[in-house]
Structure 1
Amino acid sequence: MKTSAFLYPWDVNGDPEAAHRTAALGVGQVTLASAYHSTRALTPRHPRHRIVTARHAAVLYPADARWEGRELRPWAAGDWAPGDAYGEAAEALSAAGLEVHTWVVLAHNSRLGEEHPDTSVVNAYGDRYPWAPCIAQPATRAYLVALAAEAAVRPGARGTELESLGWYGLAHLHAHDKTAGVGLGDAGQYLMSLCFCGSCRTGYEEQGLDAGELAATVRAALEPVWRGAPSDGGWTGVEKLLGEARAAATRAWRDERARTLQEAAVTAVRAAAPDGFQVLLHADPVSYHCGANAGVDPAHILSVADGVVVPCTGGADRLAPFAREHREGAVLAANFTVVSGMGGSPGTLERDARAAADLGAGELRLYHAGLASDGDLDAVRAALAAL
C-alpha cells in the first residue's frame, strides 16, 4: 500500500537527519504542511528545539501577488516557519527520495475570526466561533478557493490533501478548552454548529424557514440538554430536536454550500496544477459532520476529487460508504494516528492497515511522523516492513 507520513516544515528544517529518518520508516511520500492553523507542537528529535508554537494560522511559504488589494488574505508565519519554510523542507525530503504532497488547512483559522469577526460562524445564541469561517459567505468562499489553489500547487509537489474544506463547528481542539461539561452528542453538536450569520439566515429563508424562529427552536431544543438530558445521536436525533422538515431544510442549505465550495476549490487547484496532480480531501462520509475531516456526500466528492483521506483511528468503518461507490481509480486512504500519546496505536498498525484494506483502502496515511516518539516510529517501521 502506498503510504504517506504527515510532517510540518519545522520538523525538517534545521535537522539534517529528518528527511532520511522519514524515508527510513518505509514510506514513499510525505504530506507536508503548506498552510496550517495555529498549534503548539512537539519536536522530540530536533537538534535545536523541542516545542514549536505557531501563534496563528499562516501560509508556510511567501504568498504571491494574487492577494494584492484583497481584504481577506493569508498571514505569513512568524519565526516558527520563516521565509519559504515549506520549500526548504520539500527540497530536503525530495532529495531523500520522497514524493512530496502539500497539506492545506482551509476553513479553520482563528486569526481570520479575530481580525475579521464577521467571517465567523455564529451559533443560535449569537456566540461567534472565531476558529470557524462561515463557508456560506461569498468573500470567505473566494478567499478559501484562492488559498487552496496557491497553497496546494507548490513547486515540485505531486499532489495535495485539502483539510477542513467544509463546515467547522463547535468541536475544536483549543489550548484551554472547557466545553466538555455537557455531553452534547451528535445531534447537539449539529445544533450548536448551525450558523446564523447574515448569509446563513438568508439561506435558511430561501429554504422556507424563518431564521429567527429556527434559532429559537434550536435554543428550546437544547434547553433540556443543558440540564443533563441525553442528546440522541445521529440524524434521527437532529430530526427529533428540530422536526423533520426544519432539519432537512438546514441540511439542504449547508450541504449545498459545502458541495459547491468543494467543487470550486478542486477546480481552482486543477487549473493551477500540472497534469497528473492529485487532489484529495480529508473527509467524513456523513455530510452534516463538521471539522477537519469535512462532512461530504461520498458519491459527490468522488466525482469531484481524486479521492479521500478518511480518519480510521479506533475503527475503519468510515471507509465503507466511500468504497461502496466503486469509483474507478479513486484514492481511498486510511488515516491512522501513530502517536501513542495522542490516542494512536502504532503497535497495531499492521493489523489495522490490513483491516482497512479489507474495507477498500488502497493507501495509508500516518499522523504524524514529526510528533511521534522514537518508540512509536520503531513500531511504524516494523509494521510497514511487514506490510
Structure 2
Amino acid sequence: MKASVFLYPWDVDGDPEAAGRVAGLGVRQVTLAAAYHSTRALTPRHPGHRIVTAEHAAVLYPPDTRWEGRELRPYAAGDWAPGDAYGAAAAALADAGLEVHTWVVLAHNSRLGAERPDTSVVNAYGDRYPWAPCIAQPATRAYLVELAAEAAVRPGARGTELESLGWYGLQHLHAHDKTGGVGLGDAGSYLMSLCFCPVCREGYGEQGLDADALAASVREALEPLWRGAPDGGGGWAGVERLLGGAKAAATRAWRDETARTLQETAVRAVRAAAPEGFQVLLHADPVTYHVGANVGVDPAHILSVADGVVVPCAGGTGLLAPFAEQGRAGAVLAANFTVVSGMGGRPGTLAADAAEARSRGASELRLYHAGLASDGDLSLVREELSRLRTRAPEVTSSAPPRTINTGR
C-alpha cells in the first residue's frame, strides 16, 4: 500500500536532515500543507525551534495577482512560514526522492470570520462561528474555489488533498475550548451547526421552510439537551426525533446540495489549473450531514467527482466501507491513521491496522503526522512500514475506540 505522511513546511525548512529522515521512513509520498488554518505545533527535532505558532489561516507561498480587486482573498503567513515556505520544503522533499502532494485547508478560517463576520456560519441563537465560513454565500464560494485552484496546483506537485471542502459547524478545537459541558450528541451537534445567515435563510425558504420558524424549532428541540436530557439517539434518526422528519429532510436537502455543488466547482477549477495526471482527493466522511475537516459527502457522488478520498480511521476502519462499496475502479481510498502516540495514535500497530483497512477496501495509507511525532513514534512507523513491505500481517479484529485529538 502506498503511504504518505503529512508535514508542514516548517517541519522541513531550516532542518537539512528533515527530508532524508522522512524518506527513511519508507514512504513514497508527502502531503505538504500549502494553505492551512491557525495552529500551535510542536517541532521536536528542528534545530531552530520547538514550537511554531501559526497565528491565523494563511497560504504558505506567495499568492499571485489573481486576487487583485477581489472582495475576499487569502492571508499571507507571518514569520512562521515566510516567503515561499511551501516551495522550499517541497523542493527539499523532492530532492530526497519523495512525491509531493499539496494539503489545502479551505472552509476553516478564524481570521476571515473575525475581520468579516458576515461570512460566518450563524446558528439558530444568532451566535456566529468565526472559524466556519458559510459555504452557501456566493462571495465565499468564489473565494474557496479560487483558493483551491491556486493552493492545490503548486509547482512540482503531483496531486492535492482538499480538507474542509464543505460545511464546518459547532465542533471545532478552539483556544481554551469550553464547549464540552453538555452532551449534544450527533443530533444536537447537527442542529447547532445549522446556519441561519441571510443566504441560508433564503435557502431554507426554497425548501418550503420559514427560516424564523425553523430557528425557533431548533431552539425548542435543543432546550431539553441544555437541561441534561438524552440527546435523542445517534445518527440521522436522532435528528429526526429532535426536529421532525420533514424539517430535518428539508435542512439536509439545502445543505447537501450546497456542499455538492461547491465540491464539483472546486474540483473542476483544480483540474483546469493542473497538469495532466494531477490527482485530486478530498478528506471525507461518508455521512453527508457530518461537518468538519472531513466533510460529509455522498460516496457515490464524490467518487464521480474526485479521484478518491482520504478517510479518518483513527477510531477504526468502519468509515471505509461505504466508499469501497461503490466499486469504482481506480478510485483512491486512503485510510488516515494517527501515528502520534501523544495524540492518541498507535504507531506500533500500524501494520495490523493497515491490513484491516486493506481488507475493507483501502488502497493507500495516510499517516498523521510525521512532523508532530516523537522519535520513538517515527521509529515504530519505520518498523511497521517495513513489515508491510516484507509480509502481509495477520488481520486482527478492530481495536477498541481510541480518543484522538488531531487538532487538524
For structure 1, which runs of at least 5 residues remain unmatched after alignment? Answer: none
The correspondence of residues 76-155 of structure 1 with structure 2, limited to 5 A, is 76-155=76-155
* Helix, strand or coil at the partner of 2:5: strand
* Helix, strand or coil at the partner of 1:286: coil
Q: Work out the CA distance in 2 between the residues paired with 1:115 and 1:276.
A: 38
Q: Work out the CA distance in 1 between the residues paired with 2:128 and 2:7.
A: 31
> CA contact under 8 A between 2:72 and 2:143: conserved in structure 1?
yes
> How many correspondences in the alignment?
387
* TM-score normalised according to structure 1 size: 1.00
Is 1:386–2:383 an aligned residue pair? Answer: no
Deviations 1:94-113 (A, max 9, x none): 00000000000000000010
Q: Work out the CA distance in 1 between the residues paired with 2:96 and 2:186.
A: 44
Q: Work out the CA distance in 1 between the residues paired with 2:315 and 2:206.
A: 40
In structure 2, the residue matched to 1:309 is: 310
Pairwise CA distance, 1:230: 1.2
Pairwise CA distance, 1:186: 0.2
Q: Work out the CA distance in 1 between the residues paired with 2:173 and 2:384.
A: 29
Pairwise CA distance, 1:175: 2.0
Q: Work out the CA distance in 1 between the residues paired with 2:327 and 2:175.
A: 40
Q: Work out the CA distance in 1 between the residues paired with 2:127 and 2:22.
A: 43
In structure 2, the residue matched to 1:211 is: 211
In structure 2, the residue matched to 1:270 is: 271
CA RMSD of aligned residues (A): 0.4
In structure 1, the residue matched to 2:368 is: 367
Q: Work out the CA distance in 2 between the residues paired with 1:64 and 1:216.
A: 45
In structure 1, the residue matched to 2:169 is: 169
Question: What amino acid maps onto 2:376 in structure 1?
Answer: G
In structure 1, the residue matched to 2:73 is: 73
Is 1:238–2:247 an aligned residue pair? Answer: no
* Helix, strand or coil at the partner of 2:179: coil
Q: Work out the CA distance in 1 between the residues paired with 2:140 and 2:361.
A: 35
Q: Work out the CA distance in 1 between the residues paired with 2:53 and 2:32.
A: 17
For structure 2, which runs of at least 5 residues remain unmatched after alignment? Answer: 389-408
Q: Work out the CA distance in 1 between the residues paired with 2:173 and 2:343.
A: 12
Question: What amino acid maps onto 1:162 in structure 2?
Answer: L
| Identical counterparts, % of pairs | 82
In structure 1, the residue matched to 2:194 is: 194
Deviations 1:19-55 (A, max 9, x none): 0000000000000000000000000000000000000
Q: Work out the CA distance in 1 between the residues paired with 2:344 and 2:179.
A: 20
Q: Work out the CA distance in 2 between the residues paired with 1:12 and 1:174.
A: 26
* Helix, strand or coil at the partner of 2:336: strand
* TM-score normalised according to structure 2 size: 0.95
Is 1:251–2:239 an aligned residue pair? Answer: no
Q: Work out the CA distance in 2 between the residues paired with 1:322 and 1:57.
A: 30
* Helix, strand or coil at the partner of 1:14: coil
* Helix, strand or coil at the partner of 2:199: helix
Q: Work out the CA distance in 2 between the residues paired with 1:278 and 1:92.
A: 21
In structure 1, the residue matched to 2:341 is: 340
Q: Work out the CA distance in 1 between the residues paired with 2:242 and 2:215.
A: 12
> CA contact under 8 A between 2:170 and 2:189: conserved in structure 1?
yes
